[in-house]
Amino acid sequence: MNILIIDDEKNIRQTLSGILTDEGHTISQAETGEEGLRHLEESLIDLVFLDVKLPKMNGIDVLKQIMKEWPQIDVLMISGDSDINTAVNAVKMGAHDFMEKPLSLPKILIAVQNITEKRKLYQKCIIDDEKIDYRYRIIGQSPQINTIRDMIRRVAKTDAKVLITGESGTGKELVAYAIHKMSVRSDNPFITFNSAAIPNELVESELFGHEKGAFTGADRQKPGKLESANHGTIFLDEIGDMNIDAQSKILRVLEEGKFERVGGTRTIDIDVRVLAATNRNIVEMIKAGSFREDLYYRLNVVPFYLPPLRERTGDIPVLLDHYLHVFSNELTTARKHFSDFAKDLLKNYQFPGNIRELKNLIERLYILSDNDEIDESDVRQNLVFQNSVSSDIMKTILQENSYSDAKQSFEIYYFTEKLRASNWNISRLANEIGVLQPNLSRKLKSLGIIIPEDN
């Protein structure tokens, strides 16, 4: 790694430098915060050792600056006895950890080792293109996401048409953007056209533009989104919502690279790459006659399917981490973290709104809660209540004839959900709901509720 040491004490710099060079790292040094920041501008640093107490600009201000400008850098604070509290705060603000003076060799080696590993993992899971702003990176390390990332890399090199499917909030637009950013067209426009967001009668003039006098109110010529995307990429979002007429015109663009503006006769040649997405079942739509089969085959040269988050729960922790980071930067507030219970709760949550829901949840928690630690109850209050599941259970309950059967259905549902939320921990749940643990255990047994093996 490239490591920068910012400390005004020469012997600290020398000791650290000696140890870390022996471990194969490349070291640079700075005596003041100002000098350190200048250095960061000029070179690609992975890790900064940062003294809490520095002359002029202090360590905390330097840390703030690093978090803001170079959020990808890891920071290890160095603190004397008297400034432990400050160092602890620094960790809450986003520093990786702190080391107390006098420095302990094993601790340093372990911390640096941890960071090296974390960075390797992170590197693997971000798209390796510096052009993509960290806010638009595809995060995740599940096999499914790794495959998607791999496909993006391959397909970006070509002009192949791509159809991206998946539930709402799974990242379809993000994938389209990544393909564009990694392609040779990346310096040209990326234009999104969303058929669902525009009234049917305006779709064609928005997409293809119109000539003066094409319809009442068309008092001058106006280019469409397609023209604006020339030499770049057009992303046809929610293509399943596009009407049949517009579908035919798009087909012609795909086949011949030509179109006319609405009300015009001049044929315009265009060079765009077309990416499309939908959360509808296009195959069913073709059967029903509302989507052109030939357009489907044209578009679906490379199919991308984005699985829902509940089928790749392994990605939840990295996504949480990523968005904690993003929002602390965007809202320029101290970095928050989740309590262990809150994390468990989220790992077991279904996320019907997928990653968009996770992202919105974290943003809301940043804005609404004052504490740096987000606990289970904060999370619970902010999760979207799943109406569909709860109304289904209500139906089941009402279908029972006898009171005792209805009560039993309710109890099974209630305890299973509660247990899931408390990570299958019976004593914790007993405490939470005010029941003695042996009674709860007996109850669960009588209801036939089984705790999963690995808990």
Among positions 3, 5, 45, 139, the unique one binding ligand ATP when judged by CB under 6 A: 139
Q: Which is nearer to ligand ATP, 15 or 329 (CB)?
A: 329
How far apart are CB 179 and ligand ATP at their closest, in Å?
Answer: 12
Q: Does 36 participate in binding ligand ATP (rule CB under 6 A)?
A: no
Q: Please say whether the beta carbons of 60 and 89 come within 8 A.
A: yes
Residue 139 interaction partner, one of Mg ion, ligand ATP, none, beta carbon < 5-8 Å per kind: ligand ATP
Q: Under the rule (CB under 5 A), what is the footprint of Mg ion?
A: 172-173
Strand 268-269 and strand 258-259: pairing? antiparallel
Length, in residues, of the chain = 455
Phi, psi of 135 (to 5 degrees): -70, -20
Considering only 52, 73, 162, 174, the residue that binds ligand ATP (CB under 6 A) is 174
- In angstroms, the CA 13 to CA 17 distance is 6
CB nearer to ligand ATP: pick between 36 and 171: 171
Residue from 59, 94, 171, 240 that binds ligand ATP (CB under 6 A)?
A: 171
Site string (335-374) toward ligand ATP, x via CB under 6 A: --------------------xx--x---------------
Separation of first and last alpha carbons in the chain: 39
Q: Which residue is nearest to ligand ATP (CB)?
A: 171
**209 counts as binding ligand ATP under rule CB under 6 A:** no
- Among candidate residues 99, 129, 117, 116, the one with its CA nearest the CA of residue 15: 99
**In the complex, least distance from residue 259 CB atom to ligand ATP, rounded to whole angstroms:** 25
The residue whose Cβ lies closest to Mg ion is 173
Q: Any idea what the Cα angle at residue 145 is, between residues 132 and 242, rounded to 5°?
A: 75
Among Mg ion, ligand ATP, none, partner that 332 touches (CB below 5 to 8 angstroms by kind): none
Q: Count CB atoms within 10 A of the CB of residue 100.
A: 15
- Residue 279's binding partner, choosing from Mg ion, ligand ATP, none, with beta-carbon cut-off 5 to 8 A by kind? ligand ATP
By the 10 Å C-beta count (0-12 exposed, 13-18 middle, 19+ buried), 381 is classed as exposed
Smallest distance from Mg ion to CB 197, Å: 10
In terms of Cα–Cα distance, which of 276, 60, 312, 255 is closest to 172?
276
Return the range that interacts with ligand ATP (CB under 6 A); candidates 161-169, 178-186, 254-262, 362-370: 161-169
**Closer residue to ligand ATP in complex, CB, 13/335:** 335
Q: Which is nearer to ligand ATP, 173 or 372 (CB)?
A: 173
Torsion angle in degrees (nearest 10) through CA of 236, 242, 245, 246: -20
Name the region of 85 (left: φ>0; alpha: ψ -120 to 50; beta: rest).
alpha
Which of 165, 279, 328, 422 lies at the binding interface for ligand ATP (CB under 6 A)? 279
Among 166, 209, 232, 240, binds ligand ATP (CB under 6 A): 166
- CB under 8 Å to 21, separation ≥6 — which residues? 27
174 versus 234: smaller Cβ distance to ligand ATP: 174
- Say which residues have a Cβ less than 8 Å from residue 148's Cβ, sequence separation at least 6: 138, 175, 304, 306
Cα angle vertex 418, ends 415, 423, to 5°? Answer: 120
Total chain residues near ligand ATP (CB under 6 A): 15
Closer residue to ligand ATP, CB minimum distance, 325 or 359: 359
Contacts to ligand ATP by CB under 6 A: 138-140, 166, 168-174, 279, 355-356, 359
